[in-house]
C-alpha cells in the first residue's frame, strides 16, 4: 500500500512538471510575439474603424519586422485608460491616436515623448508634406510630439434640387451665408421645407463664435465663454428657430435632411457614409455657413487625429523605429482613410484621381480653403466642449436663458481648471 502511494505521488509530480513546462513554453511564445508587435490604440469604433483595420492589414502584408496590432477603443474609455497605464508603467500601447486638442495637456502632464530623433531617418515626414493645420499643432517648444493622420472638418451638405429652387445663386461662390440660408428658408417654409436643421452645436458654435471675433481663451489659460460674441452666436441660432426655418426640438436632424425636407444640413465630413444611404437624395457638400462671403474670413471648425508616442519604458529603439516606419507608410497609403470620408493630412493623397473626386477634397485642394480649417488649440478645450454639448441645443431651442447659461458655463470651466492645477 505504501509503495502504491509513492508511485502515485511520483506520477503527480511528473504531470505537474510537464504542465509547468507547457505553461512556460506558452508564456515564452506569447512574449516573443509581443516583442514583434506594435500595439496601436485608437478611437475608431465608428464606420471609419473598418477602414483603419484595412490599412493595418495592408501594412502587415508588407511583412514588416514589427507588425501592427490594431486596438480600437471607445473615445471616452481610451482617454480614461491612457493616464492610468502611463502612470502604472504597464500595458502602455506602442503607438496611439489622440485628438489634436489633447496634445498640450498631455505634454504638460509629461505623458508624451518627443519624436524628433526618431523621425530623423524619415526625412519625408516633414511640414511640406502635410496639411499645415494638422502639422503645426504637433510642435511645442521646438519639439515635435505628433504626426497628423487627418484633418476632419464640420461643413455643410445641401440638397441640390432644393438649393436650385430656393437658393439658386447661394452656392455660386461655394460660400453660403446665414443671410442666404434665412432667405431660402422663408421662401421654402410655405412648402413644408426647412432651411437647415439644428445639428451638433459645439462645432457650429465655435465656428460662428470665431467668425464674430470671439476666442475660447484670452491668454491660453483663462476661458472666455461669457462674452458678447458668445451671446450673439447663440442668439443667431435661436432666431432661426423662432423664424420656423429649422427642425423642431427633438426632431431627428439627419432624417429630416435625408428625407428631402431640408435644403441645407451642417454636419461633419465623416458622416458621408450615412448620407450615401439616402435613396433619391441628390446632395453636395460646401463650406460651413459663414457670416460673410469673403473667402479670406471663412472658418470651418476642424480637428485632427494625431499619432503620438506615450511614455513607455518597454518600447525600445528598434520598436520605435518600427512605429515610425508604419507612420511613414500611412503617409503614402491614406486613400482608404479618405474613402471613410476623412481628409488625410498627408498631401501625397492629393494627387490620387480617386481622392480628387471625393466631396470633401475641396477643403484640401485649395490653399484658401486650407487656411479656413481652424483647430481650436486650447489646453482646456475638453472642458469647453463639455459645456457646449451641455447647453448648446437647450439655449438654441429656448429651454435655457442664453446669458445665464454662458455665465454658469464660464464658472464651471474655471472651477475645473482650478481643480486641474
- Going by the DSSP 8-state scheme, the letter that residue 31 receives in this structure is H
pLDDT confidence of 6, banded at 50, 70, 90?
low
pTM of the model: 0.81
What is the per-residue pLDDT for 67?
97
Nearest CA among 270, 323, 288 for reference residue 113:
323
Q: Which residues contact 269 (CB under 8 A, 6 or more apart)?
A: 152, 153, 154, 155, 285, 341, 342, 343, 359, 360, 363
Q: Distance between CA atoms of 193 and 48, rounded to whole angstroms?
A: 32
Neighbour tally for 186: CB within 10 Å:
14
SS3 97: strand
Burial class (CB in 10 A: 0-12, 13-18, 19+), 419: exposed
Mean pLDDT estimate for the chain? 91
Which tens digit of pLDDT belongs to each residue from 322-356?
A: 999 999 999 999 999 999 889 999 999 888 999 99
In this prediction, residue 35 carries a pLDDT of: 74
Q: Which of 130, 41, 100, 39 is nearest to 334 (CA)?
A: 130
Residue 155's nearest CA partner among 57, 28, 275 is 275
Amino acid at each position: 500500500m505504501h509503495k502504491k502511494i509513492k508511485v502515485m505521488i511520483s506520477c503527480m509530480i511528473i504531470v505537474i512538471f510537464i504542465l509547468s513546462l507547457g505553461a512556460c513554453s506558452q508564456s515564452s511564445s506569447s512574449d516573443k510575439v509581443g516583442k514583434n508587435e506594435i500595439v496601436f490604440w485608437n478611437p475608431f469604433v465608428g464606420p471609419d474603424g473598418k477602414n483603419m483595420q484595412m490599412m493595418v492589414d495592408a501594412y502587415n502584408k508588407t511583412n514588416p519586422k514589427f507588425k501592427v496590432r490594431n486596438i480600437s477603443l471607445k473615445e471616452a474609455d481610451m482617454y480614461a485608460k491612457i493616464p492610468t497605464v502611463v502612470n502604472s508603467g504597464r500595458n502602455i500601447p506602442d503607438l496611439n491616436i489622440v485628438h489634436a486638442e489633447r496634445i498640450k495637456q498631455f505634454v504638460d502632464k509629461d505623458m508624451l515623448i518627443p519624436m524628433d530623433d526618431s523621425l530623423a531617418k524619415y526625412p519625408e515626414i516633414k511640414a511640406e508634406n502635410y496639411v499645415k493645420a494638422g502639422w503645426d499643432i504637433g510642435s511645442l517648444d521646438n519639439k515635435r510630439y505628433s504626426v497628423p493622420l487627418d484633418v476632419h472638418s464640420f461643413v455643410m451638405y445641401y440638397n441640390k434640387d432644393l438649393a436650385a429652387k430656393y437658393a439658386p445663386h447661394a452656392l455660386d461662390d461655394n460660400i453660403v451665408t446665414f443671410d442666404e440660408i434665412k432667405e431660402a428658408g422663408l421662401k421654402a417654409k410655405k412648402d413644408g421645407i426647412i432651411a437647415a436643421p439644428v445639428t451638433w452645436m459645439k462645432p457650429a458654435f465655435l465656428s460662428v463664435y470665431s467668425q464674430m471675433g470671439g476666442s475660447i481663451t484670452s491668454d491660453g489659460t483663462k476661458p472666455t465663454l461669457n462674452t458678447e460674441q458668445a451671446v450673439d452666436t447663440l442668439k443667431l441660432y435661436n432666431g432661426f428657430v423662432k423664424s420656423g426655418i429649422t427642425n423642431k426640438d427633438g426632431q431627428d436632424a439627419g432624417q429630416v435632411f435625408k428625407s428631402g425636407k431640408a435644403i441645407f444640413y451642417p454636419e461633419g465630413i465623416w458622416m458621408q457614409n450615412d448620407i450615401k444611404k439616402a435613396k433619391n437624395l441628390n446632395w453636395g457638400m460646401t463650406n460651413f455657413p459663414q457670416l460673410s462671403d469673403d473667402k479670406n474670413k471663412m472658418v470651418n471648425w476642424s480637428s485632427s487625429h494625431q499619432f503620438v508616442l506615450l511614455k513607455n519604458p518597454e518600447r525600445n529603439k528598434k520598436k520605435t523605429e518600427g512605429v515610425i516606419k508604419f507612420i511613414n507608410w500611412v503617409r503614402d497609403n491614406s486613400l482608404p482613410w479618405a474613402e471613410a470620408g476623412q481628409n488625410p493630412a498627408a498631401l501625397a493623397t492629393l494627387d490620387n484621381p480617386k481622392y480628387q473626386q471625393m466631396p470633401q477634397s475641396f477643403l484640401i485642394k485649395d490653399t484658401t480653403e486650407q487656411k479656413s480649417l481652424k483647430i481650436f488649440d486650447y489646453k482646456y478645450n475638453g472642458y469647453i466642449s463639455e459645456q457646449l454639448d451641455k447647453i448648446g441645443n437647450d439655449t438654441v431651442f429656448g429651454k435655457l436663458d442664453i446669458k445665464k447659461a454662458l455665465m454658469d458655463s464660464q464658472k464651471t470651466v474655471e472651477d475645473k481648471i482650478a481643480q486641474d492645477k
